[in-house]
Amino acid sequence: MIIDCPWCGKRDVREFTYQGDGNIKRPAISDVNVDEFNAYVYDRENPAGDHLELWQHSGGCRSHLLVSRNTLTHQIASCETVGPWADKSGRAGK
């Protein structure tokens, strides 16, 4: 599988580390109970089809990426930088 990093260009998936579901939001520590936090850590869906995922380009620029991938075909529809390095559109500024 090839991931098109906004900073480095097209790279083999072996340069990246999967970091989980891109749709899940971490609950605030101040107002979460044990059951909610347990669900956040362990409960995951296994969707067939389009899915948002978080990846890190660990073997390259170290950027965190939001990847839209089809879990059946592994075809990647989009890849954008997330975090403080992304501009307002979510794309990396080159």
Q: What is the pLDDT of residue 80?
A: 95
For 74, list phi and psi in degrees, rounded to 5: 65, 15
Q: What is the pLDDT of residue 45?
A: 82
Q: What is the pLDDT of residue 75?
A: 96
pLDDT < 70 regions, the chain: 85, 87-94
Domains with residue ranges and CATH for the chain:
2-82 (3.30.2270.10)
Tokens standing for 75? 């075809």
Q: What is the pLDDT of residue 91?
A: 52
Q: What is the pLDDT of residue 88?
A: 53
- What SS3 state is found at 37? helix
Q: What is the pLDDT of residue 53?
A: 95
Contact 68, 50 (CB under 8 A): yes
Task: Decide: pTM greater than 0.75.
Answer: yes
Contact 92, 81 (CB under 8 A): yes
